[in-house]
Amino acid sequence: MLHQRGYNVIATVRNDKDAISLQALGITTTLLDLNSSTSIQQAIQFTLDHFEGQIAALFNNAAYGQPGAVEDLTRDVLRQQFETNLFGTHELSNLVIAQMRKQGNGRIIYNSSVLGLISMSYRGAYNASKFALEGLVDTLRLELKGSNIHISLIEPGPILSDFRKNSFEKYKQHIDRDKSLHKETYLAMEARLTKQGAAVPFTLPAEAVVKKLIHALESKRPKIRYYVTFPTYLFAFLKRILPYRWLDYIINKIQ
């Protein structure tokens, strides 16, 4: 959609297969694996070469969700979640910030989640990575005051994408359902993760996120936070007004 709007876009992909459909639309692609510092540096160099040393904006949209009860998450599994969702994003952003400081302007938008605002059961690894991202980005925004580099967070709720499909693969890879005390809950969770189409009410298409992204890119005064979907607006409001025990009660009732 940004390409159609006239932006000069470089879309990053983790494998060549994912690049085919984008390149068919005339979009430039480059490989990027946030788990690899070498890959990050190569993607940045490719981008700088392509844009002749200028980067106007970065949209950090790479992340995945590792399902599972917190007590079933090993240290290594939790580390993998943070490598992609936080550490790689942080390293990439810092390299872009260095370039933006040289040119005197820029915008960086982070795709966070409603789960960066509130926590839900069996999403502990993802919750933790998004809470950490929000704290890091809020600090970064304060430190960049006066730099003419604008920082924004987009916080979607349920969006139609391959997120659940990818999460299910990570679940199968790292969670031993039959040996867990949470086996019965996992059986229900598997049905949700493998359901076709929207799994919960108020799910929106990806275009809903792009609408907020465009505002963050083009507004003279971009917002610090952009909520997407009714659940995000609702829980952001409830978190401000309710005692934590009441909020826990509501979350346990709906999830």
Q: What whole-number distance in Å separates Cα of residue 218 and Cα of residue 223? A: 11
126 among known catalytic residues? yes
Angle between helices 124-143 and 75-82 (to 10 degrees): 40
Q: Which DSSP category does 162 fall into?
A: S
Strand partners, 10: 28
The sign of the dihedral angle between the CA atoms of 156, 161, 166, 171 is: positive
Strands (E), the chain: 10-13, 28-31, 57-60, 106-111, 149-156, 225-228
Q: Is 132 exposed, middle or buried, given 0-12, 13-18 or 19+ CB atoms closer than 10 A? A: middle
Choosing from 110, 122, 126, 227, the catalytic residue is 126
Q: Are 2 and 9 in contact (CB under 8 A)?
A: yes
Q: What angle (nearest 5°) sits at the alpha carbon of residue 56, between those of residues 47 and 60?
A: 75
Phi then psi for 13, rounded to 5 degrees? -135, 160
Q: At what angle do helices 124-143 and 89-103 cross, to 10 degrees?
A: 20
- DSSP 8-state class, residue 159: B
Active site residues: 126
